[in-house]
Copies of this chain bind each other. A is one copy, B any other.
Amino acid sequence: MEYTVQKLAQLAGVSSRTLRYYDQIGILTPARVNSSGYRIYGQKEVDRLQQILFYRELGIALETIKEIMTAPSFDAEKALKEHREQLLEKRKQLDLLITNVEKTIASTEGRMDMSDQEKFEGFKKKMIDENQRKYGKEIREKYGQETVNQSNAKLMNMSQEDYEAVTKLEAEVREALAEAFATGDPAGEQAQKAAELHKRWLTYYWTEYSKEAHAGLAQMYVDDERFTAYYDKEQPGMAAFLRDAIHIYTGQK
């Protein structure tokens, strides 16, 4: 089955402008254009649009959706299963909101007391990010560390191989870091190797690497107690040591 813009738009419940925009930003290009320049969409595009709409429904930016879906490791079926989980999560949040509105009705009728905090329960879907913003400043909450290992792996739609590679790399970083820490020299060979491994680990998550961002993340390892706890688990002072090594590696400061 082939569709023109308007036909596909009607089928999917979006506007034709939306489809043209999606073509423009390269997230959904037509199967072909006919001799008059009309966009013609086929079965593959229908399915791709469906995927896009699932991501969009979950509040993912189009640019991000594009990155996810054009990655060579993208697996449509895995993505769908992820959608299902996210949608169920969204449903749970909606239920929270419904509880909230019911409690609020009860409280306006004097049948109940409500704290100010309770009044905003269920709106919080972003509160986790907000909480993290309280600690860090920018890229950090996005590219943080431990939650990222799982949640971003999902978001990036990593393959099993990638996930294994990244987990292995993480172990290597820790190992190299332990060795380096024993030398006590953040500028030494061992420490610089650890910094480089850390960078390679990072590139699995970051779409583009910059020294500044890398240095910033390193600083956060010291500033944010949750990360400090993670790195200092074995040896106190490890987080600060890693920061110093990375700062030297990136040539910052």
Q: Which residues of A contact B (CB under 8 A)?
A: 1, 6, 9-15, 46-47, 50, 53-54, 57, 76-77, 80-81, 83-84, 87-88, 90-91, 94-95, 97-98, 101-102, 104-105, 108-109, 116-117, 119-120, 123-127, 130, 154, 157, 159
Would A117 and B77 count as touching, CB distance under 8 A? no
Would B157 and A13 count as touching, CB distance under 8 A? yes
Q: Is the interface of A mostly helix, strand, loop or mixed?
A: helix
Of A97, A108, A117, A124, chain B has the most CB atoms within 10 Å of the CB of A97
Query: Which residues of chain B are within 8 angstroms of A130 by Cβ–Cβ distance?
Result: 10, 13
Q: How far, in angstroms, from A102 to B84 measured CA to CA in the complex?
A: 7
Would B91 and A95 count as touching, CB distance under 8 A? yes
Query: Which residues of chain B are within 8 angstroms of A46 by Cβ–Cβ distance?
Result: 116, 119
Q: How far, in angstroms, from A181 to B93 measured CA to CA in the complex?
A: 52
Q: How far, in angstroms, from A75 to B119 measured CA to CA in the complex?
A: 18
Would B10 and A53 count as touching, CB distance under 8 A? no
Would A6 and B120 count as touching, CB distance under 8 A? no
Q: Give A125's nearest chain B residue, CB to CB.
A: B13
Would A120 and B84 count as touching, CB distance under 8 A? no
Query: Which residues of chain B are within 8 angstroms of A94 by Cβ–Cβ distance?
Result: 87, 90-91, 94
Query: Which residues of chain B are within 8 angstroms of A11 by Cβ–Cβ distance?
Result: 116-117, 120
Q: How far, in angstroms, from A28 to B251 measured CA to CA in the complex?
A: 48
Query: Which residues of chain B are within 8 angstroms of A157 by Cβ–Cβ distance?
Result: 9-10, 13-15
Query: Which residues of chain B are within 8 angstroms of A116 by Cβ–Cβ distance?
Result: 1, 11, 46
User: With A11-B116, A157-B9, A157-B10 known to touch, is A84 a contact of B57 (CB < 8 Å)?
Assistant: no
Would B80 and A104 count as touching, CB distance under 8 A? yes
> Can you report 24 A-B residue pairs in the complex whose CB atoms are below 8 A from each other?
A1-B116, A10-B159, A11-B117, A12-B123, A13-B123, A13-B157, A15-B154, A46-B119, A50-B104, A54-B101, A57-B97, A77-B108, A80-B104, A80-B105, A81-B105, A83-B101, A84-B98, A84-B102, A87-B94, A87-B101, A90-B94, A91-B91, A91-B95, A94-B94
Query: Which residues of chain B are within 8 angstroms of A57 by Cβ–Cβ distance?
Result: 97, 123
User: With A12-B120, A50-B119, A157-B13 known to touch, is A88 a contact of B98 (CB < 8 Å)?
Assistant: yes
